[in-house]
Structure 1
Amino acid sequence: MWRSVASNALTFLIVALFLLGGVILFGQSTYRAEGPLNEPVCVRVQSGSNMSRVSQDLEGKGAIANGTLFRLGADYSDKADKLKAGAFLVPAGASMEEIVDIVTRGGASTCGTEVVYRIGVTRKTVQVRELDPATGSFVEVAAFNPAEDETPTDYTRVRNEADTRFRIAVAEGVTSWQVMDTLNSIELLNGEIEQPDEGSLAPDSYEVRVGDTRQSVIDRMQEAQEVLVASAWEGRASDVPLLSPYELLILASIIEKETGVAEERRQVASVFTNRLNRGMRLQTDPTVIYGVTEGVGVLGRGLRQSELRRETPWNTYVIDALPPTPIANPGRASLEAAANPDTTPYIFFVADGTGGHAFAETLAEHNQNVAAWRKIEAERANQ
């Protein structure tokens, strides 16, 4: 009898172990299998949250089919206590194993809310935007000019949320004073800065964190610009009439201020290069404007004849060759245009009414182009 009981118990144990092994294999397979998501979703993990709350949120979003298995898998992989606060993009079809890795890996948030401080040539704006997981594109929630508008509640709401990302976007052609002025107004940054040298900051988008120093942001911008200038100088054409990387930076800043049309940059560069080669004055209005403002603020009006005649270190209607410093912070494209201008016979250009310019080889052609532009100006003034 006891042998029969023992035999039955052994058989039951073997079956139980077999079934348990099958359950474990099934669980492992399900944990690593493609998930039920048909399109990406954004998952927010609040500070102090736990795997139980996260699994409930994931089940609610349809990202996982079994919250218990999700938690067991996190426990088994020793990641249950490594949850990171933030907003994380979970791609379509992500397995539970992949999702556990996403919410425990750490690093910057990959979706959710982003605040962008935009430093433009004529104005600065603050933009609040949300990532649409389905399209991978940001959707604007609010935008305002901090110098003129009331602070919207959407900005106030997200400003102190743990998973909000912050970014500073610097446009090509802004001055160093404009960058410094904006950085000083961003309350999430710390420390003081002095105005950086003109032209020393690379226009780009820079992610920042609460508590970063303003100087650390400036350092990143300057390091990036040094790389861009060195690369452009190394790849310059052998016959450009420039004696140093700094002269390249100066010319690039003038090109940046003269045209916002990408296809024109090398043509504009060719005009200035031709003038330098012929010993002609550059005669470019943006340098005159810089002589008036010295990069502080925006002129906000047309130039006066007296200002065109006034002698300043930057007035290229008065001085020979290049001004002593850049007049703005040029981007990569303008640096490359200064280093490798088109080969053209042009020594003149003027606005053509389309946002671009009309180029000319002779003064007679240029005067015709100027007359055409004056007519366009007059017609617009009468509309």
Structure 2
Amino acid sequence: MRKKILSVLAACAAAALLAALILFVQFKGNAVRAEYELYIGSQADYAQVVDSLMPHIRHRAAFRFYAKRIGLAWSFKPGHYTLTRGMNVIRIARTIKLGLQTPVRVTINNVRIPAQLAAKLAAQIEADSAALMAVLASGPKARELGFDSVTLFSMFIPDSYEFYWTVTPEELVGRMKREYDRFWTPERDALRKRSGLSRLEVMTLASIVYEETRMTDEMPRVAGVYINRLKRGIPLQADPTVKYAMQDFALRRILYKHLRFPSPYNTYINKGLPPSPICMPGKNAIDAVLNFEKHDYIFFCARPTFDGYHNFARTLDEHMKNARAYSAELDRRKIR
């Protein structure tokens, strides 16, 4: 009899141990099959959260039990969450409940107009392009940050930044103002004063330089040409400003008929700089303007070798010779 009792007790203990082990594995074991990026939109309901999550985790019954216990159905937070191997159902549920988001890396570059910026941002965060554009074009918001609705675009410095996926357009713009202020170090401001330009003017000139050449080593020389023209009161006559004025960025050859296009951005018919940048210049172009090369060139023209570099000239005769050589090569290649 005693042996039977001991056997029953041993069996119960083993069963209890097995049950405890199963529960431990269910609640504390790895529940993530493979790393998964979970996005929970601001308008999502709990059923959508569960539908998105369940195919990517194990121990689903344990998750549902624990989620119910902590009231996850009415307390989950929208956001972007990275589920990594080793996470258990308790950690997953708590992460979503507490809103412990994984930041997303937002890259801003190669943008010409605010609408394009809004579209690029919308592809990387939850906010849509219309909501972003509304803030980018907002006069009151721009004035709050020290700009206007036209020049606010100059505040964006190309780079990669970490944001929460649920960042609002207002929060994003505010963060970019802090990044702009951080970019303008005392050293950069000292160089800016050497050029005689304001911050906006530096960004505007840098945008022209950036559109003229992508050769970083040539940018200071191109910037020097435009600084010379500004100081002498000579129109900049920058072809990229004509493309921007016409909003025709595919235009490969600027003809005389294009030079008279009426726009404050057309530097063939207006002296000085355009009202705002014609693109988002790279940091290399901004620093090239701040470190512009001192020389006496006032003209430059693309080389007929099409190697991305330019021929520079001090006189109109020399420039016209360079221009004719380039034009002849365009004709030979049948570029219209």
Counterpart residue number, 1:83: 76
TM-score normalised over the length of structure 1: 0.55
Report the equivalent of 2:330. 377
2:310 aligned residue (358, 364, 371): 358
Matched, 1:40 2:33: no
1:261/1:244 CA distance change after superposition, 3 Å:
same
Distance 1:248 1:25, change over 3 A: same
Query: Displacement, 1:376?
Result: 1.9
What residue is the counterpart of 2:64 in the other structure? Answer: 71
Worse-superposed segment, 247-256 or 78-87 = 78-87
Q: Which residue of 1 aligns with 2:177?
A: 223
For residues 249-274 of structure 1, give each alpha carbon's deviation from its aligned partner in whole angstroms, at most 9, with x where no partner exists.
44334324433555543332233345
5+ residue gaps, structure 2? 143-147
1:136-175 correspondence runs (5 A): 165-166=126-127, 168=129
Instruction: Supply the distance in 2 between the matched residues of 1:209 and 1:59 (Cα, whole angstroms).
Output: 21
Contact 2:31/2:88 (<8 A) preserved: yes
Larger relative CO (CA 8 A, sep 6+): 1 or 2?
2
Report the Cα distance in structure 2 between the residues aligned to 1:273 and 1:317, rounded to whole angstroms. 18
1:281 aligns with 2:278: no
Q: Is the 8 A contact 1:288 1:307 kept in 2?
A: no
The letter of the residue matching 2:308 is G
Q: 2:288 matched to which residue of 1?
A: 337
Counterpart position of 2:133: 183
TM-score (norm 2): 0.60
For 2:278, the equivalent position in structure 1 comes to: 328
Contact 1:166–1:208, Cα closer than 8 Å, also in 2: no
**Take 1:190 and 1:350, find their aligned partners in 2: how far apart are those partners?**
35
Alignment gaps of 5+ in structure 1: 132-137, 139-163, 169-178
Cα distance in 2 between the residues matched to 1:110 and 1:313:
38
Q: CA deviation at 1:244?
A: 3.7
Equivalent pairs, count: 311
State the partner residue of 1:103: 96
Higher strand share: 1
Alignment RMSD (CA, Å):
5.7
Q: Kindly provide the amino acid, as one letter, of the partner of residue 227 in structure 1.
A: D
Amino acid at match of 1:339: L
Measure how far apart 1:374 and its partner are.
Answer: 0.7
Rounded Cα–Cα distance in structure 2 between residues aligned with 1:266 and 1:272 = 10
- 1:95 & 1:272 partners in 2: Cα distance? 61
Letter in 2 for 1:270: G
- 1:378 is displaced (CA, Å) by 0.8
Percent identity between matched residues is: 16
